[in-house]
Amino acid sequence: MEIYEKAPAKINLGLDVLYKRADDYHELKMVMASVDLADHLKIESLPTDEIIVTSNKAFLPVDKRNNVYQAAEILKKRYQIQKGVKITIEKRIPVAAGLGGGSSDCAAALRGLNRLWDLGLSMDELIEIGMQVGTDVPFCLHGTTAKISGKGEIVEPIVSMPQCWVVLVKPRISVSTRKIFQIVDATQLEHVPIDDLIAAIEAQDYQAMIANMGNNLESVTIQKYPVVQKMKDKMLKFGADVAMMSGSGPTVFALCQKYSRAQRIYNALKGFCEEVYLVRTLP
């Protein structure tokens, strides 16, 4: 039996780090949306009792360091699955980019294995398992547009963000989310108006949405990696409606209502970076 799952990338329309919790995680308030840049997973049964993960990207670890492998291992142990599985990951989302690629792959694997092994797990059960792998997994299980709080486990879907074009650019660096959060001082951050952002999205008011977008991790990442600010500046110079870092970076995205403007930004940035994508938001 073979099952196919799509694993879309995410962008942060709003990211507000509120404070450091007693469990050493940070309390977050965010708005995330899925975009039409995705990895693809093929999940198939094996006659032998083993987990095999393969990928089209040679640099991607396919052992216990891989989020997909971890998800399969947790399910096998918890539900005493005596069957094997092979999961093939076709990577299109840049790695260590702030786009949630590893988390989305994990979510896709959980959805697919739930079907393959006929486990009948609810969304809440999948989220609880996914949180053992990564804090972006709960959103990736839901997808579309949502408000996220806690350390990432509380996901409240909202109406999809207004449709627009998205230009994504990943500079030639990788950023560790863990290391960025290690140096964050939440008391020094300027907070993002997440509630106003959500109200704008629910009203489908594009101009109000972009006016209230923000990511207060930008100041932390840009201090270590100034190229992020340079990419933002170039996007705005070439006509972006708004330009912002996604997650802990380093990927920067621009939103445009007009395709011609998005195409111009895409073409201009191809001269500066290899990894540039022009996609739509997902309804």
Asked whether residue 33 is marked as a ligand-binding residue, the answer is no
Buried b / exposed e along 169-201 (16+ C-beta atoms within 10 A)? bbbeeebebeebbeebebeebeebebeebbebb
Asked whether residue 97 is marked as a ligand-binding residue, the answer is yes
Catalytic residue among 10, 29, 76, 232: 10
CA gap 57, 35 in Å, rounded: 21
Asked whether residue 95 is marked as a ligand-binding residue, the answer is yes
Asked whether residue 214 is marked as a ligand-binding residue, the answer is no
Active site residue 49: no
Asked whether residue 104 is marked as a ligand-binding residue, the answer is yes
Asked whether residue 236 is marked as a ligand-binding residue, the answer is no
Query: Could you give the angle at which helices 67-78 and 123-130 cross, rounded to 10 degrees?
Result: 120
Three-state DSSP class for 148? Answer: strand
Active site residue 234: no
Cβ contact 41:22 at 8 Å: no
CA gap 206, 135 in Å, rounded: 28
Q: Is the dihedral of CA 202, 208, 209, 215 positive or negative?
A: negative
Asked whether residue 186 is marked as a ligand-binding residue, the answer is no
Asked whether residue 101 is marked as a ligand-binding residue, the answer is yes
Residue 156 buriedness (CB in 10 A; 0-12 / 13-18 / 19+)? exposed
| Six token digits for residue 122 | 């609810």
Cβ contact 173:250 at 8 Å: yes
Catalytic residue among 16, 105, 136, 241: 136
Q: Is the peptide bond before 61 cis (omega within 30 degrees of 0)?
A: no
Asked whether residue 102 is marked as a ligand-binding residue, the answer is yes
Which of 20, 30, 21, 33 is closest to 253 using CA atoms?
A: 33
| Six token digits for residue 83 | 């069957």
Cβ contact 262:153 at 8 Å: no
Active site residues: 10, 136
Residue list, annotated binding site for ATP = 94-104
Binding residues: 94-104
